[in-house]
Amino acid sequence: MSKNAMPAPQSAGLSCPSAPATPGAVMIGIVGDDGMVHPLARPLPVDMDFVESASRHGPPEARFRFSNSCVEGACQQWTGRSCGIVAKVLDHLDRQVEIAPTDIPRCSIRATCRWHAERGFAACRACLYVVTDQSRERPAAASSSR
């Protein structure tokens, strides 16, 4: 277990903070020119019109972050008891990015976030560097496609 590990939460009903752009998801952040995620104050609902429109300009997950229900075992990133992505993100960023201990981003889904439930504020500090779709090159970002 890594230094950022916490016991896996027992609860269902958690949210994936790096979900695909599908109808029913919510947008929680926008990827800036700096390659970092800029969180939205409130999650924005995603519908089919948005997905179709945004997909005309490339993968929406390369430009925005979305959240949806954590599907646990139905996700290829599920380890059996926790999210494999947040572990990879933290291991990767621990080596490559200096994250200030007090640099906790505002967040509209923290109460239900799978990553926060598993790793606490360590996940939040790394979260701003996570771009779900890495098909476009970005500095100091980590992929979390599922």
Provide the binding-site residues for ligand SF4, judged by CB under 6 A: 17, 105, 107, 109-110, 113, 115-116, 123-124, 127
Please, which residue, 48 or 111, has the CB nearer to ligand SF4?
A: 111
Residue in the structure block whose two tokens are 């599922």: 146
- 114, 83 in Cβ contact below 8 A? yes
Q: Which is nearer to ligand SF4, 11 or 56 (CB)?
A: 11
CB of 56: closest distance to ligand SF4 in angstroms?
A: 26
Q: Which is nearer to ligand SF4, 63 or 110 (CB)?
A: 110
Distance separating alpha carbons of residues 76 and 56, to the nearest angstrom: 26
Q: Minimum distance between the CB of residue 81 and ligand SF4, rounded to whole angstroms?
A: 18
Q: Please, which residue, 21 or 127, has the CB nearer to ligand SF4?
A: 127
CB of 52 to ligand SF4, least distance (A): 25
Q: Which residue has the tokens 């970005």?
A: 138
- Closest contact distance (angstroms) between CB of 80 and ligand SF4 is 21
For residue 115, give the nearest of 84, 139, 136 by alpha carbon: 84
Helix (H) or strand (E) holding 98: none
Distance CA 23, CA 10 (A): 27
Compute the distance between CA of residue 6 and CA of residue 64 in angstroms, rounded to an integer: 28
